[in-house]
Amino acid sequence: MNSDLVLRFGAGAKVFVVSLFAIVLSLIVFGIFVVLSGVNPLDVYRLMYVGAFGSWFSWQNTLLRSAPLLLTALCTALPAQMGMVIIGGEGAFVLGGLAAAAAGLLLSDMSVPALIVQGAMAIAGMCAGGAVIASAGALRHLRGVNETISSLLLSYICIAVLNQMVEGPMRDPTSLNKPSTRALPDWAMLGNIPGMDIHVGLIFGLLFCLATYMLMFHTTFGFAARMVGGNVRAARMAGLPVGRLILIVTFLGGAAAGLGGMVEVAAVQGRANATIASGYGLTGILVAFLARQNPLIVIPVAILLGGIDASGGLLQRRLDMPDASVVVLQGIIFVILLASESVQEGINLPGWFRGIKPRSSAVAVAEGAE
């Protein structure tokens, strides 16, 4: 029993150490990069820490930015449990925001209670986002269309739909230089968590992560879904309804991103316009990969990346660095993380970390040879 625990814990510890190593290495590479553009990297690191976690104010800023990341990361992480690489979170986010704005404006005109308006907005956002990603899932299942490409194409289409709606049928005539929908009335907006300057969207994100973690790792549904993700042939052989599982999980992933869009509209922007397509969907992909597609680990990783995001403003103001600095760092982390994953097999952690040695790959080679 003890040895089993060590084995399970050891594997997790290894992933943690490798990911940490990847992030540290990325920060070093980013440091070299900023040196080349004439900035002192120590200033950058210090400001990043200050901007992300240096004060309660920065913490609030960080948490605010991590809220949408929690939700968009699930849009990649949940389908990934089924072996699908979905990168259309941005589209689900945007369409979720648009649908939420539409539902919110419609219902607030009818002056129903705020809670019902907000509930309807959340449902509309989740359904719209869910529909986008579920269609990528359906196309994969029914027609064998590669879901990575189709979800990204759907994402561009969603952004076009958003632009069309806010420039056309849903445009508020008073929004001149930045076409938008009408603003939601204040009473219909999502409030803050009591005692903090953080909207309740953070709670939505945390709950969504916890709930989907329980679903994927502690229920029979999640077990079946992970079987499909691990080997669809084995899942079929066990008689599992593969298509239904794919549709449900992709819908859930899209619903998470759609809810993120709803939060962006109902708690931040107050209306739908082109600003809601601001890259949370793309960063969510990185969060999901860094969290090894595990909804529970998405939480700390989203906070970390939210912090990097939050510090971007400070870097821009104090050091006059371009706002794309953060994206560069994210890109470096992503690249190094993927490269480090292949190293993972080869390294051995010291002492008790190690647990039971897995069968060495050399043995597998020797047997594979015959």
Partner 1 sequence: MTSSLMHEPVPPQKAVKLEVVDMGKRFGGIAALAGVSMRVEAGSVHALLGENGAGKSTLVKCIMGFYTPDTGAVMVNDKEVETDNPRQAHMLGIGMVYQHFTLVPSMTVLENLVMGRSHVPALIDWKKERADLSNFVNSMPFSVPLDLPVASLAAGEKQKAEILKQLYLNVRLLILDEPTSVLTPQEADEILGLVRGMAHAGDITVLIITHKFREVLAYADEVSVLRRGQYVGGGKVADLTVDAMARMMIGEREIAPAAARTEQAPGAICLQVRGLTADDENGDAAVNGVDLDVAAGEIVGIAGVSGNGQSELVEVLAGQRPPTGGAIMVRGDAYHATRTEMLRHKLALLPEEPLHNACVGRMSVAENMAFRNFDQPPFSKGVWLSKSRMRAEARGLIERYRVKTSSPDAAIATLSGGNVQRAVLARELGGDVDVLIAANPVFGLDFAAVADIHGQIVEARNRGAAVLLVSEDLDELLELSDRILVMFDGKIVYETPIAQADRTNIGRSMAGH
Partner 2 sequence: MDETSIGWWGVPLAIFAGAIRISTPFLFVSLGEMVTEKSGRINLGLEGTLIMGAMSAYGIAYLTGSPWLGVLVAGLVGTIFGMLHAGICSLPKVNDIAVGIALMLFGTGLAFYLGKPLVQPQAPNLPSFNFGWWSDLQQVQSALKINALFIIGVVLAPVFLWALRNTRWGLILRIVGDSSDAARAMGYSPLAVRLVATAFGGFMAGVGGSFLSLYYPGSWNEGLSSGQGITAVALVIFARWNPMNCLWASLLFGGASALGPALQSVGVTQGYYLFNAAPYVLTLLILILSSSSHRHIAGAPGELSVTR
For partner 2, the binding residues (CB under 8 A) are 85, 87, 139-146, 148-150, 152-154, 156-157, 160-161, 163-164, 167-168, 282, 285-286, 289, 322-332, 334-335, 337-339, 341-343, 345
Residue closer to partner 2 (CB basis): 59 or 334: 334
Query: Please, what is the minimum distance in Å from the beta carbon of residue 361 to partner 2?
Result: 9
Alpha-carbon distance of 40 to 31, in angstroms, equals 8
Q: How far is CA 300 from CA 1, 70, 290, in A?
A: 29, 9, 10
Alpha-carbon distance of 335 to 164, in angstroms, equals 35
219 binds, options partner 1, partner 2, none, Cβ within 5 to 8 A by partner type: partner 1
Asked if 228 and 83 count as a contact pair (C-beta separation under 8 A), the reply is yes
362 binds, options partner 2, partner 1, none, Cβ within 5 to 8 A by partner type: partner 1
Residue closer to partner 2 (CB basis): 102 or 198: 102
Residue closer to partner 2 (CB basis): 111 or 146: 146
For 182-203, give one letter per residue: b (16+ CB within 10 A) or e: bbbeeebbbeeeeeeebbbbbe
Query: Please, what is the minimum distance in Å from the beta carbon of residue 233 to partner 1?
Result: 5
Query: Please, what is the minimum distance in Å from the beta carbon of residue 141 to partner 2?
Result: 7
Alpha-carbon distance of 324 to 82, in angstroms, equals 32
Residue closer to partner 2 (CB basis): 87 or 131: 87
Asked if 188 and 118 count as a contact pair (C-beta separation under 8 A), the reply is yes
> Nearest-CA neighbor of 333 among 369, 301, 368, 370?
301
Q: Is the dihedral of CA 121, 123, 126, 132 positive or negative?
A: negative
Query: Please, what is the minimum distance in Å from the beta carbon of residue 342 to partner 2?
Result: 4
Binding footprint of partner 1 on the chain (CB under 8 A): 3-4, 7-8, 218-224, 226-227, 230-231, 233-234, 236-241, 356-367, 369-370
Residue closer to partner 2 (CB basis): 123 or 153: 153
171 binds, options partner 2, partner 1, none, Cβ within 5 to 8 A by partner type: none
Cβ count within 10 A of residue 279: 15
Query: Please, what is the minimum distance in Å from the beta carbon of residue 340 to partner 2?
Result: 9
322 binds, options partner 1, partner 2, none, Cβ within 5 to 8 A by partner type: partner 2
Query: Please, what is the minimum distance in Å from the beta carbon of residue 191 to partner 2?
Result: 33
Instruction: Give the CA-trace dihedral at 253, 295, 263, 281, to 10 degrees.
Output: -60
Query: Please, what is the minimum distance in Å from the beta carbon of residue 338 to partner 1?
Result: 17
**Complete DSSP assignment for 331-358:** HHHHHHHHHHHHHHHH----GGGG-SPP
Residue closer to partner 2 (CB basis): 196 or 328: 328
